[in-house]
Structures are given as C-alpha cells and as structure tokens.
Chain A
Amino acid sequence: MEKLITAYTYIGEGKVVVNKQLIFYQEKIATFAEFIKALYKQEQISYPKFYKMDSLSKLGFMCAELLLRHEKPGRFKPGSLAVVLANSSSSLETDLTYQDSIKNRSAYFPSPSVFVYTLANIVIGEICIRHSLKGENAFLVSEKFNPRQLLDHVSDLLDNNRAGACICGWVEILGNTFKAMVALVEKENDGTLKTSFGSMPFTEASLNELMNLTEKSIWKN
C-alpha cells in the first residue's frame, strides 16, 4: 500500500513554508519568541492557550496548525490520526529555564507552569488537545534527523492499521536556534488523494527533501 505526504509545514532559516508556498519570512530573527508570535499574529490564529506554552510546544503547535487548518472537520475518524515527532534536544530548552529557577537557595522559585513543559512529548499533548486527537503518539529523541526511524515508526502504525493517517516530523529548538518540518502522511487507497504540490511518496528521500528545502522547491507568494 502506498503512503503519500499530503501536506507539510517547514520552519527554518526564518522561512515558513506550507505545501511549497512561502507564507512567512523574517530575514533577521531577534528571538524565537518574537518570530513565532509574529507568525501567530499574521496567520490570525485564535487560541489563547498558545501564550502559556513553552517554545517547543509553540513550534510544534504552529506546524500542526498550518498543516491542518484547511482540513475539513471529520475527514479523520476520531482516534485514527497518530502523531510521531522527533528532535535532538528533547525539552532541554525548558529544562534549563526550570533549572535556573531552582539553582539558588536564595532565589528558589520553582514554577509548576514551567515544570509541566519539562518533557518533550508535551508538545504532542498540546497538539492533541487542540485538534482532539486520540490516536497513537510517540516522541523520539535522536542525535540527528533520522528519516529512517520516522519512516519505520510511521509505516508500522499505518501498515498495521493502528492509525489511518499520521502527523510526523522534526521539531527542534534550543535557545534561538530552531527548525521544524512536520508532514501529514496518508494511505493511498483508491487514488483519490490530491495535493497542491504534486505527488510526494512517503520515503526517506522525501523527508530529506522537506528538511532541506531549496529555493526551487518553494513557491513565493
């Protein structure tokens, strides 16, 4: 059974690309917080919980938001959409913030609202809460982007009917260095899947291509 990438979001080098379209660009990025807030505002997303999220969750949330915003509600059966994300720094960005708050005996202010984000898979939780996803999920941590691992994990879910479709990709942030690529993978059952960017099989090569978008693979608005 063939599996296709039917939508994707790429965030890197100040560019935000959704399904081959460059939708946002900041040449000079001061901080991640400003960058992601500007993107959130431009896209006119209204989800107040966004503001209390940590950086990793904001990054993953925006990727999923841009990926799913044009989907018709009800296209995926409840419990059928899985989420498999990966990165290399886990939740270190927030772990460090939390550690800062407890390192001094005199200024010891652990905050529960920071603490709850000191796990990498909370970003998946935020995405699931936003889109009411009740399917399988996993967060993988590996030193480098590992398309083979994603391919194996997602293929296993889809091939064994443990999921009907899967959101998968890479969401990495540490300090103001960040990169994300999140794709929607679906099974091609009857030749009816259509995308605006041509047919893209779910392969290592496609995942690598999306992680390293070149100018020619981006349409500028």
Chain B
Amino acid sequence: MPSRIFVTGLGFISGLGNNVQENLNSLLNLRSNIGPIRHIDTNLKHELAVSEVSMTSDELMRDAGLPDDSAYSRNALLGIIAAKEAFSHAKLDKHPGLNIGLISGTTVGGMDECEKYYQDFLTNDSKNRFIETYDCADSTEKIADHLGLKGFMTTISTACSSAANSIGFAARMMKAGKLDCAVAGGTESLTRFHLNGFNALKILDKFPCRPFDATRNGINLGEGAAYLVLETEETNQKTGNPVLCELVGYGNACEAFHQTASSPDGAGAYLAMKKALDMSGETPDAIDYINAHGTGTDNNDLSEGRAIEKLFTGKIPHVSSTKPFTGHMTSAAGSAEAIISILGMQQGIIWPNMNFSNPMPELKFQPAGEIIRGVDIKLVMSNSFGFGGNDSTLIFKKHGVH
C-alpha cells in the first residue's frame, strides 16, 4: 500500500486573482478585494460585502472559447480554470497511462443560472439547456471533459468542508491503490440562493470580516475554485515532478450536535484536528502554522479557538484566518486555504489574520495580526468546518524534512 501522497500541482482562482501567481501577489501585498456585490443581481447588493472573481460569467465563457449557446454554470467555469492550471502545473498531459481521478467539492452546483431562469423553464425552451447544469456533478463532468479525463470522478457536497474532504478522499483512493494521482479540490460561485440562505441565518457581515476579533460580526462570502494535483510516491517517480509538499494527515469528524451550528466546545473541530495529527504521526508542538477556518462568526471562532486550545496544550502555533483576503469560499475554501498554506510554507511567511484588533476574552491566544516573514515552516494545518459540524483538517509537510 503506497503510504505517501505528494502535492505536485496547484491551480487557484479567487477574488484575489485568476491564477496562483496573481493570488500570491495579492496575498504578499496584503490586498483583499472584499467589497460591494458587482455581478449578482440581488436586492442585497448594498447590504453585504463579498469577494467576487473579477470576470463575469460571460467573460469567463469567452475567455474559455465556449460557444454562447452552450450551458455552463459559473461553478464549472471557475472550476475549469483552476483545475486546468493545476493539471498543467503537474504536466499530467505528458504522462499517458496514468490512472487520474477527479474529485471536486461543490454545494451550490448550477444554482447561479437556474435561479435566473427557474420561472422560465416551463415556457422558455431556449433556457432549458441550463436545467442539467443544476446538479452538483455537472461542474465536475465539465471539468473532466476539459481535462480529457475519463476515469474515476466524483463530487463531494459537505458545504464548507467539501474541498478538504475531496483532498482527503483522493488520498484514501490513492492509498487504496485505486488511483495513481488525482486532481482534487473544490469550486463555488456566489448565487442569490446561498447569499439569501446565509443572510437568513444572520451570519453575514456588511463590513469586512474580523475573524477571532471580539467584535466579529459574521462572514463575507467569497467565490472561486482551487485544485491540487496529488501523486503517490510511486507515480511521482514516474512523472519526476518536483514535490511541493506532502499531505501527511487528514481527518474528518461529524459532531452530531446541531443541523447547522457548531458545538460551543468545538468537539468536532477537536476531533478533526486530532485525527489528522494522529495520522501524521506528529506531535502538536511540531505544527508551525494553523490556517484556521475562522469565518468571523461568533459561533465558529469561539468553538474553533477552544478546540485549538484543547489540542495544543503547550505552545500554540501561529494561527490566522485568511478569509479577510478571499472571503469565505465555502465549498472551495478547503483547497483554496490548503494552497494559501502551501504558498506560505514555500515563502516562509505566516499570513496575517487581517482586521484583527480586539482579542476575544474567551481565548488565551491571539491570531497573527501582522504578516510574519522569514519563518521556517515545516508543518501546516488547514481547517475547514462545515454546517452541522462536518469538520475536516488537512496537514501538509515541507518535502525532505524529517
């Protein structure tokens, strides 16, 4: 059974940029693009702050050279861009004969187009081509088509932990010998439906979000897509790809506390981090950085903070939430933040938890308020927690360290 899983390709589109390099530049320049809604036609337009990918869906269609009469959800369009970037990064097209899987997380599916045309579907044939895009798996199939992948593919919808679960599941498939390598991550576009849904839960902030701040007041939703190419050690010997880092641990736990809320003591968050840490064989002291889920809601940051304090009984590593940069990319958050964590590891940088100024009275630790450069980061932990306490943690290790 192959035991090691290497990361050899990255692809990333978000409000910060249309590829990994643009995202990295924005992060290095501490540039967030959280602001008013530009693309979505909603009466919440002036009520909420979000992070949108700069291009409209029409522009994305034109950019990809797709005919006007084809039916693509924004999820598929964003997913294709990021998955293609990761695929090319690892030059997977140069290695015929590999058994490549595609595992993609999304929960919004094709709601963006369907909610525009829903009322017309019964009467307007010209829009009916969008009906099939509604299913979450449609975006995964379209991505597979564009990459020329015909093997195993599946779609994971566990809300905000979807992309992290995709990466964990891909690793399991590879360890079980079912895949040589995988393109794994997630894609999520903003839609009226989930803006309204989160708004109804009263967990959206109209100002830039302030994770782990005593005055935090909710989430800024974001959109985008992010994919990693994972290879087993054996496959990597064939491809000869440079290893960016190693996926050494992943854990998923469901805390069975409430349909949407997390338990105040962070039982699920603790379990997910503990499972991932146990798999990695590392001690809590060895973790250099935690990219927290840190949504900026009362509930999440308290339960996640308590879970971190429970697991890291000695020194608490650097902690930050990068959602003030990207917004909460929901089903793409897990892979987006995995990439942000990996970029930080490569650059020796602890990303700042922007907009933080007031420590939470309930917690003993504070997140990294400023960017910290020149840190030797060997192990990073990235948390992604979904509704109902479907909590997942990934741990990446710098390649070649023991």
Which residues of A are interface residues toward B (Cβ below 8 A)?
102, 105, 112, 115-116, 122, 125, 128-129, 131-134, 137
Contacts and interface: CB of A to CB of B under 8 A. Distances in A.
Contacts of A133: 256
Given A105-B119, A134-B271, A129 B197 contact: no
A112 B254 contact: no
Contact of B256 (A102, A115, A116, A132): A132
B253 A134 contact: yes
Contacts of A112: 197, 200-201
A115 B201 CA distance: 13
A102 B118 CA distance: 10
A141 to B, nearest CB: 15
B388 A125 contact: yes
Contacts of B258: 129
A129 B254 contact: no
B255 interface: yes
Nearest to B258: A129
Interface string B187-217: 0000000000100110000000000000000
B259 interface: yes
B257 interface: yes
Given A105-B119, A112-B200, A125-B388, A134 B259 contact: no
A125 B200 contact: no
Contacts of A137: 254
9 closest A-B pairs by beta carbon, nearest first, are A128-B256, A129-B256, A134-B256, A112-B200, A105-B119, A132-B256, A133-B256, A116-B259, A134-B254
Contacts of B254: 128, 134, 137
Contacts, number: 27
A128 B268 CA distance: 13
B137 to A, nearest CB: 15
Chain B interface size range: 10 to 19
Interface string B216-231: 0000000000000000
A125 B259 contact: yes
Given A115-B197, A134-B255, 14 more contacts: A102-B118, A112-B200, A116-B259, A116-B260, A122-B259, A125-B256, A125-B388, A128-B256, A129-B256, A129-B257, A129-B258, A129-B259, A131-B256, A132-B256
A128 B263 CA distance: 14
A143 to B, nearest CB: 19
B185 to A, nearest CB: 23
Nearest to A134: B256
A159 B258 CA distance: 30
A132 B260 CA distance: 15
Contacts of B119: 105
18 contacts: A102-B118, A112-B201, A115-B197, A116-B259, A116-B260, A122-B259, A125-B256, A128-B254, A128-B256, A129-B256, A129-B257, A129-B258, A129-B259, A131-B256, A132-B256, A134-B254, A134-B256, A134-B271
Contacts of B200: 112
A102 B255 CA distance: 32
Interface in B105-133: 118-119
Contacts of A132: 256
Contacts of A129: 256-259
Nearest to B268: A134
A132 B271 CA distance: 14
A125 B386 CA distance: 14
B105 to A, nearest CB: 16
A137 B255 CA distance: 12
A132 B254 CA distance: 10
A105 B255 CA distance: 39
A218 B253 CA distance: 39
A69 B17 CA distance: 55
A137 B197 CA distance: 26
A184 to B, nearest CB: 18
A167 B258 CA distance: 20
Contacts of B388: 125
B122 to A, nearest CB: 9
Contacts of B255: 134
B7 to A, nearest CB: 27
A134 B267 CA distance: 11
Nearest to B253: A134
A57 B206 CA distance: 36
Interface string B259-275: 11000000000010000
A122 B260 CA distance: 12
Residue in A102, A115, A125, A133 whose Cβ sees the most chain B Cβ within 10 Å: A125
Interface in B348-402: 388
A48 to B, nearest CB: 14
A103 B259 CA distance: 26
Nearest to A112: B200
Contacts of B259: 116, 122, 125, 129
Nearest to A108: B119
B241 to A, nearest CB: 33
A122 B159 CA distance: 14
A105 B257 CA distance: 37
A112 B197 CA distance: 8
Most buried by B among A115, A116, A134: A134
A74 B287 CA distance: 34
Contacts of B197: 112, 115
A116 B257 CA distance: 15
B286 to A, nearest CB: 25
